[in-house]
Each structure stands twice: as structure tokens, then as C-alpha cells.
Amino acid sequence: MNAPPRFRDVIGSHDIALIVLDTLRYDVAAAELAAGRTPHLAALAPDGRWERRHTPGSFTFPAHQAFFAGFLPTPAEPAPYERLFAAAFPGSAEAHVGPGTWTFEQATVVEALTARGYRTVCLGGVGFFNGRTALGSVLPALFGEHHWSERTGVTDPACLDHQLDVLDRVVTDPDPRPRFVYVNVPAIHQPNHFYLDDIASTPDTRPPDTLASHAAALRYVDSRIPRLRDLLTTGPRPVFTIVCSDHGTAYGDDGFDGHRLAHDCVWTVPYLHTVLDPRTGETT
């Protein structure tokens, strides 16, 4: 697999996709991949493995505010690295901004791509993308178009399928502009107990979410990656694709539950980026 091109060199010539697997823990992602249970994500990952990184935020809203400004998850081991893109900001001009970094004057990469002729599309998942409240409208309002419904939210076990149905309609629109597609995948976020095949429940007998159901939700997501990849590559352009988590979550780790807290299982997330070929849908 060839190294992806410099991000600054893909603007205008490539479609761009940012796929955030909301709430996915690194340890679960790495274990499932190593065991061969997420083969489609493994096929996307350089060297067939996730990169271990640290998120800039312990829950969805601050993590995405940072992501869109150019502060994607950073390598978990101390080593030189270069940011893909960065909003211009005094005091951070040398903060991992290198020759391949695309810098822009706008506050977010969404607004910067819009200014450069991109069609920007948000497929919402968790509540911060539902557009139903002032807070839930902040992030989706950055995009030229945004889509959310109860069927694409955290309570529907087929949420990613419904998101892909929306994406199918988006990519069949004959709009000639290059695309920036953001997908907030909510399946792994709680509740995820319903992804365990051996559990049948009613609202009165809901079982707890666990690391096992977290992993089962990830396997559901992995099973839909081929369709996602095919939809992203329907256009004539290569697709620079970033797949990562925004934060992890605790299931009793050291007595903690949930996220919005400072624990390694929350701060440590999986990350990859690659380029998808529009002719084959495969990584280049």
C-alpha cells in the first residue's frame, strides 16, 4: 500500500471523508482487529492495524470542535508527526504544522472546504448532531447540508444502515462538486446491548451495556464498511478517508462508567487514514 498523499495536495482533486466511530475504545478496536473479527476495517488500515492515538476531548462535543479546527487525535507515543490540516491560529503555527499540512483562515475545515467549492454533507448520529436544540445544531450547522432522524440515532440497532441509505441518496445526486462527507456513526455509543445475539430484551428487562456489547456493535459497523466504501467511491475522484473515534468510554474501569472523564480508556482512541480508489473502492 502506498503512503497517502500530502493532505494539502488533495484539496480540489479528491473527495474527503471523515468517519467517526463515536465512543469506540482503542483496546476493543485493536483486540477485535487482531482476532480477525473486523476484517473490513483491517483492510482500510495501513499495515492492517489501528494507530493508537489520544483524543483532544473526553466527549463528542469538544472532540469534534477540535477535530474540525484541525486537532485530530494525536499519536499516543512521543514522536514527530504532522497534522493533516490546521486552522490558522497565532501561537500554534509551528505546532506540528509541516509541509504537507493544509492550513486555512476559516475556523473549521468544513467552512474552509465550503469556501473552496466542496459540497459538505453531515450524516448525524449522536445527539450533538440532531439539530433539535441550539446545542445540537452547532456542529451540523457548519455543513451545507445535514441529515439526522431517530432512525440514524443511538437507539436504533440499524442506525448505520439508515445512514447509508441517506448517503446513497446523497451520492446519486448529480452534483459535480467534490464532496466532503462526515459520518458520525452512533452504533457503538450506549445503548449497545442489542448487538449481542444471545440477548433478547424488552424495555423492562434491558440488560447492561458491556465491553462485550461494545465489541459486538463494532462488528456490526465493520459488516457495513463495504457498502460505505462503495458509496464513498461512486464519484470520479479518489477519496481521502479518515476513520477514527472521538473518545472511548468506561464500563466499570477502575470504578468509572461512561465518558466525559479523564481515564485512559476514554482518552485513547483508534485512528487511520487512507485513500480509496474510485475505480475499485480499494485503498491505494
Q: Give pLDDT, residue 207.
A: 83
The pair phi, psi for residue 15, each rounded to 5°, is -75, 160
Place of cell 461512561: 258
Which one of 3.30.70.920, 2.40.50.100, 3.40.720.10, 2.60.40.10 gives the CATH number of domain 7-276? Answer: 3.40.720.10
Q: Provide the H-helix boundaries in 82-122.
A: 109-115
Q: What is the pLDDT along the chain (284 residues), one digit of tens a residue?
A: 567 789 999 999 999 999 999 999 999 999 999 999 999 999 999 889 999 999 999 999 999 999 999 999 999 998 888 999 999 887 665 678 899 999 999 999 999 999 999 999 999 999 999 999 999 999 999 999 999 999 999 999 999 999 999 999 999 999 999 999 999 999 999 999 999 966 555 556 678 999 999 999 999 999 999 999 999 999 999 999 999 999 999 999 999 999 999 999 999 999 999 999 998 877 87
Alpha-carbon distance of 218 to 231, in angstroms, equals 20
Q: Give pLDDT, residue 149.
A: 96
- How many other C-beta atoms are found inside a 10 Å radius of the C-beta of residue 279? 10
Residue 283 per-residue DSSP state:
B
pTM of the shown model:
0.95
Alpha-carbon distance of 39 to 46, in angstroms, equals 13
Q: Which residues pair with 274 in a beta bridge?
A: 241
- How many other C-beta atoms are found inside a 10 Å radius of the C-beta of residue 231? 21
Alpha-carbon distance of 127 to 216, in angstroms, equals 22
Query: Are 275 and 74 spatial neighbours (Cβ–Cβ below 8 Å)?
Result: no
- Domain boundaries of the chain, sorted by first residue: 7-276
Query: Are 4 and 273 spatial neighbours (Cβ–Cβ below 8 Å)?
Result: yes
The per-residue b/e assignment along 80-103, b for 16 or more CB within 10 angstroms, e otherwise, is eeebbbbbeeeeeeeeebeebbbe
Alpha-carbon distance of 146 to 138, in angstroms, equals 11
Q: Give pLDDT, residue 282.
A: 78
Which among 71, 51, 69, 59 has a CA at the least distance from the CA of 22?
59
Query: Are 267 and 227 spatial neighbours (Cβ–Cβ below 8 Å)?
Result: no
